[in-house]
Amino acid sequence: MMPKVLLPLAQGCEEIEAVTIIDILRRAKIEVITAGLDAQPIRASRGVILLADMTLESALQQEFAMIVLPGGQPGTNNLKAETRLPALLQHMHAQGKYIAAICAAPSVLAMAGLLDNKQATSFPGALDAFELVKQQNQAIVEDGKIITSRSPGSAMDFALLLVERLAGKTTRDEVEAGLVRV
The 10s digit of each residue's pLDDT in 93-122 is 999 999 999 999 999 999 999 999 999 999
* CB 109 within 8 Å of CB 92: no
* Calpha distance 122→81 (Å, rounded): 19
Comparing CA positions, the residue from 30, 37, 90 lying closest to residue 65 is 30
What SS3 class is residue 17? helix
Domains and CATH numbers, the chain: 4-179 (3.40.50.880)
Q: Which of 59, 103, 112, 126 is catalytic?
A: 103
How do residues 40-95 score in pLDDT, each as one tens digit?
999 999 999 999 999 999 999 999 999 999 999 999 999 999 999 999 999 999 99
- Concerning whether 13 is annotated as a catalytic residue, the answer is no
Residue 82 vs residues 20, 56, 96, 111, 134: alpha-carbon distances, Å: 23, 10, 22, 12, 25
Distance CA 47, CA 64 (A): 29
